[in-house]
Copies of this chain bind each other. A is one copy, B any other.
């Protein structure tokens, strides 16, 4: 899949249709047949863009991550720009929930892929996704440290990892009992985060 391929209208369509279908039917019931019907693309066409159904799903997930990344970079730019006074907490309030509270599609795809991790390609994508998240989070902590909001002696990367452990836990819990656990509030998340920070040097 070349770079240029990524921008093909049909490929974009494919991704959108897939996302929409997963949203409606869930991953398991989203068959190639359904995607074919909805998109008008043929099986051959789909497999021209993508090596497997799982990879297709993974690409949808990646696209979602891209979006978050862009928003993050914008926020970072503002935060690091001394001219603009954006407290770190603002980032937390706007951005973190998106990462955590993924009731939406990313979460569904994520756990679908997790169950298919015996496919090497999937495992790889999953690991990438994880590293990417950690990276994002790390950077964010570092900025906090620069601003003096987070103690500088912390290992940013380790802290990020710790934090994400909890986030994963929250996601699982939400999947198991969606109503039992109320959606995480900004406040909870924030306090949790600082708690993680202070607690462990691990």
A residues neighboring B (CB under 8 Å): 26-29, 111-112, 114-118, 126-127, 130, 161, 164-173, 175-177, 181, 188, 195, 199-200, 202
Chain B residues with CB under 8 A of A118 = 26, 28-29
CB-CB nearest in chain B for A25: B118
Q: How far is the CB of A54 from chain B (nearest CB, A)?
A: 10
Interface of A is mostly: helix
Q: Which residue of the partner chain, among B127, B169, B188, B200, contacts A168 with CB atoms under 8 Å?
A: B169
When the two chains form their complex, are residues A127 and B177 in contact, meaning their CB atoms are under 8 A apart?
yes
CA distance A195 to B195 in the complex (A): 10
When the two chains form their complex, are residues A176 and B115 in contact, meaning their CB atoms are under 8 A apart?
no
Q: What are 11 contact pairs spanning A and B, CB under 8 A?
A: A29-B118, A111-B111, A114-B114, A114-B115, A130-B173, A161-B173, A161-B181, A165-B172, A166-B166, A169-B169, A169-B172
